[in-house]
Structure formats: structure tokens, C-alpha cells
Amino acid sequence: MDRPLATLDFQHHVQQAGVPDAVTDIDMAKVRACIHCGLCLPKCPTFRILRHEGDSPRGRVWQIKEANLGLVGFDDPRFQTHIYQCFNCRACETACPSGVQFGAIMEMARAHTPPQNRRDRLVRALLLNGLLPHRGRLVAAGVAFRTMQALRIPAVLRRTGLWRVLPLGKFAAFPPPVDRGPLRGALPEVMPAQGTRRARVGLLSGCIQDQLFRSTNRRTALALAANGCEVVIPREQLCCGALASHAGEAATAARLAAQTLDVFQRAGVEAVVVNAAGCGSNMKEYDLQLRSDPTLRPAGEAFSRTVRDASEFLASLAPLRAPRRGLRLRVAYQDPCHLLHGQRISQQPRQMLAAIPGVQLVEMKEADWCCGSAGVYNLTHPEIAEAALAWKVTNIVESGAELVVSANPGCIMQIAMGLQRAGHDIPVVHVMDLLGWAYGDEGAAPRLIEARFTG
């Protein structure tokens, strides 16, 4: 087990030095690692949809080289289009024989590249910079969302068809099937280990995750505690900066990374457990985001080594404590891009599902392809995102699964919305939801799941 994080007064450093400078340089050594072999093309969703070399990984790398040489401007509309049409799903990294860090390259390039259009500017201003870094605004947005559900507005939107013309109407009309009831109070700051304590870990509660999927956080903490972990959930934490980082908002991402470092350093934990794939991938690369600050970079590198996905960490504690209940269901697992391609984690979530008696795991076709959520991509490029979602819905239905499980809130919201719109009553939940219910969490499960529990 790793030692607790080394002591460093991040808060004092940030107050003295100010917000860390945005990392806007492009590491051309990473760019030049691409040999343009083309093995990434068959795994690139935007190349599959658009059939344009400029919308392939090697095509984008070539354009970044040209922009760095001044042969094309970072503000050239054509360059902007190809850079921002990328899902940044990082499937090309898994396919690449040269180990190109395409995700890091893309974030560096986007930090140089102005927003593509008005929609992109609005998402950055309202969501990435206006909402996620501010606790009060996040809480207000969460209250508004739950009030809308309590008033049965989604049903009205579906019945009248108004969701088709309203901004974000499809997300309002087809919300995910978990956490539809009133939000419970804040999670305890410390959840004690059950039985002999095996580790003291921190849990990232997140921003959107904390407002829309707080019960998933509770079930994650329950699964950890059931397996001998003392779980610390610092109340001062907020957003880890993942969505800002993926979109190229480097200054916001760096500031949020520094705040997250400070919070978990003061918690004195051995590992930081994350149940959102995009957040975990981002936090495992804090050394890249903070590399312009000579004080924070080594701290970011040390911190990144302590970050673990929830299923990754629980798998390291094997054998797991036997769940109290079994579940007779055919379950398909959808690989989140930033878990599979960003963190190289594939088997551990499936091991969590296999630990629940009665679960029949069925593999869907192209489980490793992006669902189209991709951070804020389904907001900034909804037409292309819809094409990816259509593949996913088709593959899920053809698999014969009764339940879909994933490990990222964005994937869960996107796939749940797609299945409901297509008229399929197939719930979509988090791996930790299913495990937490099996360990005895009393939170409301979708009716199909509740009816199939045994024991």
C-alpha cells in the first residue's frame, strides 16, 4: 500500500503564487512520436463517421505540427473544426504501436485553439467556467434539476414532444434512472471500515457527480468500507478539472487541480479513489497539467500515483468480501473511454460484476467504442455524438442484456437517454451502484433490479 501523500502546504503556495499559469505550450516530442502509420484510423469514431483524413488521429497530429510551425493558424476555422470534432476518446492510444499520448497532445493543442463557435463559447462560459468551479451554483443547479423531476416535467416533455425543440431538451426529458428522488444529505466526512481496517482512502465526490449521482458515491463508499477501508470524503473538495482540461481550458483546469491536491493532501490518505472515469484519467495526469509550476509539478506527479479507479482499488484488495445479495440478470458492461483507453482498466469492473452471485455478464459488440458523451462533446457537437450513440444503442439491444453497467456518469446519462428515446426499458447504472446494492444499500434501485435480487 502506498504511503500517505507527502505533506506540502498547497493552500499557502496557491495563495502566495496565485493561480498556476495555464500550460499552453505543446510538447513537440510527444507530437513527433506519431509515425503516421494509420493503425489508429479503424478505431477512430470521428474518422468512421466523417471519413476525412483531417478527422483522424494522424491527420490531427499532422495539423498540430503545421500549426506549431506557423503554416496554419490555431485560429483558422478549418483547424478549429478538426481539433474540436475529436471525441478525445483516446482509442487511438490503445491502437498505437508507438505509444503516442494523443489525449495529452489534444489537450495541449486545444489550450492554444480558440473556441470553435458560439455553442462552444457558451458551454465554456456557462458550464466549464461559470458552474463547475463554484459550489453554490452547483448546488442551485442540482436543486433545480431535482425540482424539475419532482414536478414530473420530464414526462410532460416526452408526452408533448417539446424536448425536441428545447435546448438540452433530450437530457431533461430522458434523465438517468438512478437518483430520481430527493437528494439525501451530505455524505459523512469519514465512513469507518467494517472489520479490520486495511486502508485509509479518500473518495472524490466530484461536481456533477455529487449533485446527480450522490447515491453512487454513497454506494462506492459502502463497498470500500465493506472491504476494510476507512473512507474519507473531504467536504472542501469540488471539481477535479477534468471537463475543463479535456476542452482546453488550461487555466481553470490547473486551478482546480491545485485545489484538489490541497484537499486530499490535508486528508492524509493512502490512495484517492475515483468512480468517474474521466475524472480518474485526468487526476492520474496532474503532472502534465501542473508542469509549468516547479513546486506543484512534483507534487502533482506524486499525487497521480495515488489515484485509483474504484474497481481498480477494490480488485487490489481481493478477495472481496462476499456481497449479501445476488442478482439474477443478464448484464452488459460498457467500457468508458477514459477508463479503458486513458487508464488501461478493463477487467477490474467485470471482476466486480462477477463477484455478485447470479450476474450473467454478456459482452456487447464494440463495448470499447465511445458512446458520444465524451465530456461536453454531446453539447458542443450533438449531431456527431448522436451517430456514436446510435451504434451503442443498437449493440446493446442486440446483446440481449437486461441491464447496462458502466463506470462514468457521462456515459450513464448519454446511454440512458439514448435507450429511453429508442423505446427500450433497459436501465443503465454504475458498477458501484450494483455492488453497493448487493452489499445491502437501501437506496431505491430500478424496479427491474429490485425484483431480481436474491438472498
pLDDT for 5 beyond 60: no
Q: Rounded to whole angstroms, how far apart are CA atoms 81 and 84? A: 5
Q: What is the pLDDT of residues 265-282, one digit of tens each?
A: 999 999 999 999 999 999
pLDDT band at residue 177, thresholds of 50, 70 and 90?
Answer: low
Mean pLDDT of 195-217: 93
Bridge partners of 405? 333, 429
pLDDT for 393 beyond 80: yes
Mean pLDDT of 127-135: 91
Q: What is the pLDDT of residues 334-373, one digit of tens each?
A: 999 999 999 999 999 999 999 999 999 999 999 999 999 9
pLDDT for 212 beyond 90: no
Strand 326-327 with 453-454, pairing: antiparallel
Reading the block at residue 65, the C-alpha cell is 505540427
Single-letter code of the amino acid located at 188: P
Task: Give the contacts of 229 (CB within 8 A, at least 6 positions apart).
Answer: 193, 197, 198, 199, 200, 201, 317
Structural domains present in the chain: 28-116 (1.10.1060.10), 320-454 (3.40.50.11810)
Mean of the per-residue pLDDT values of the chain: 90
pLDDT band at residue 8, thresholds of 50, 70 and 90?
Answer: very low
Reading the block at residue 24, the C-alpha cell is 499552453
Strand 199-203 with 453-454, pairing: unpaired
What is the DSSP annotation of 245-312? Answer: HHHT-HHHHHHHHHHHHHHHHHHT-SEEEE--HHHHHHHTTHHHHTTT-TTHHHHHHHHHTTEEEHHH
Reading the block at residue 169, the C-alpha cell is 431538451
Least confident of 10-14, 83-87, 418-422: 10-14
Rounded to 5 degrees, φ, ψ at 203 are -125, 125
Q: Does residue 360 contact residue 331 with C-beta atoms inside 8 Å?
A: yes
Task: Give the contacts of 402 (CB within 8 A, at least 6 positions apart).
Answer: 329, 330, 331, 426, 448
What is the DSSP annotation of 405-438? Answer: EES-HHHHHHHHHHHHHTT----EEEHHHHHHHH
Looking at residue 183, what is its pLDDT?
54
- The fraction of the chain above a pLDDT of 90, given in percent, is 75
Please give the model's pTM, rounded to 2 decimal places.
0.91
Q: What is the pLDDT of residues 310-325, one digit of tens each?
A: 999 999 998 899 999 9
Q: How many CB atoms lie within 10 A of CB 345?
A: 22
* Residue 7: C-alpha distances to residues 16, 269, 290 (Å): 17, 11, 17
Looking at residue 211, what is its pLDDT?
87
pLDDT band at residue 181, thresholds of 50, 70 and 90?
Answer: very low
Least confident of 86-95, 179-188, 219-228: 179-188
- Closest to 26 measured CA to CA, from 134, 107, 132: 107
Rounded to 5 degrees, φ, ψ at 420 are -65, -45
Q: What is the pLDDT of residues 15-67, one digit of tens each?
A: 444 444 444 578 899 999 999 999 999 999 999 999 999 999 999 999 999 99
